[in-house]
Amino acid sequence: MLATLAKLAERLKQQKMEASKIRRQNERALKKALSLGRRSSSGLRSLERHIEHNKEELTDINAEFNQILARKESLERLAKSAQERLIREHEVKDQAEIDLANADSDEAKDNAQYRLDGATEKIQELEAELQIREKAVKKVDQEIIDYKKSQSTTSQKIHKQAKSKPILVTQLKESKVDSEIFRKRLETSSKREEHASKALAKVTAKLEEMMAKKRKTAAKKAAAKRKAVAKKKASKRKASSKKSKAKKTKKKSHR
């Protein structure tokens, strides 16, 4: 019976150790799944904020870009108008030069010279205006290039972030499923460990009780054996003492 209990205790001890090992594994797996879920959830919220921010930024870029395009169109219209006026002023100047060369009176010469001077002055003003317009158009063209780059960069960010979103969503779903699975497994393994622990405690207590009884029985037997030995020795001493007295009495009677 004692040997059987000892074997049962050893088996329960092994079962408890195995249950504890599985429980720790499930705890680690659950912790990992929950951690992944928190990271995925946090990453998803952060990603959505970044996407929203970049979309707003792209909207602002597009609005400013449209304003720049409108400004360029306005500058081009003004430059075209100035160019057309410059052509007309050149025609006026050419005609004034012809009239001046062919003038047959002082009044005609003065009139032609006046028109020539006015056209020349106007040409200089229009050429200066055209230079300013051309510089402004070049500046706007560079701004357009920069805004197109900014549009492309921001659009690529949004596209890349949008591609990352399904991955995080999938990870979040999987972590929720895994968390539930490992939570149930942990509950089961914890119950098994608790059951094995209680069973081991009962068997250990019973084994200790039996061992105590065995020690008590052995102690009683040892005490009884010592008592019997002592009694036997006492009997021998008593018998020896009687024999010795008998010898002494015999000697005295012979005298």
Indicate the pLDDT class of residue 249, thresholds 50, 70 and 90: low
Residues of the chain above pLDDT 90, percent: 38
pLDDT value for 255: 53
- The verdict on residue 213 lying in a domain is no
Count: domains in the chain: 1
The pLDDT tens digits for 104-157 are: 888 999 999 999 999 999 999 999 999 998 899 999 999 999 999 999 999 998
Indicate the pLDDT class of residue 243, thresholds 50, 70 and 90: low
Per residue, what are the HEC states of 37-91?
A: HHHHHHHHHHHHHHHHHHHHHHHHHHHHHHHHHHHHHHHHHHHHHHHHHHHHHHH
- The verdict on residue 214 lying in a domain is no
- The verdict on residue 12 lying in a domain is no
Query: Domain range holding 151?
Result: 24-203
The pLDDT tens digits for 13-40 are: 888 888 899 989 989 998 998 898 888 8
- The verdict on residue 241 lying in a domain is no
CA–CA separation, 9 and 1 (whole Å) = 12
In this structure, what CATH number is given to the domain that contains residue 167?
1.10.287.1490
- The verdict on residue 39 lying in a domain is yes
pLDDT over threshold 80, residue 251: no
- The verdict on residue 82 lying in a domain is yes
The pLDDT tens digits for 91-103 are: 999 999 999 999 8
- The verdict on residue 106 lying in a domain is yes
- The verdict on residue 233 lying in a domain is no
The average confidence (pLDDT) of the chain is 86
Mean pLDDT of 235-239: 73
* pTM of the predicted model as reported, rounded to 2 decimal places: 0.56
pLDDT over threshold 60, residue 252: no
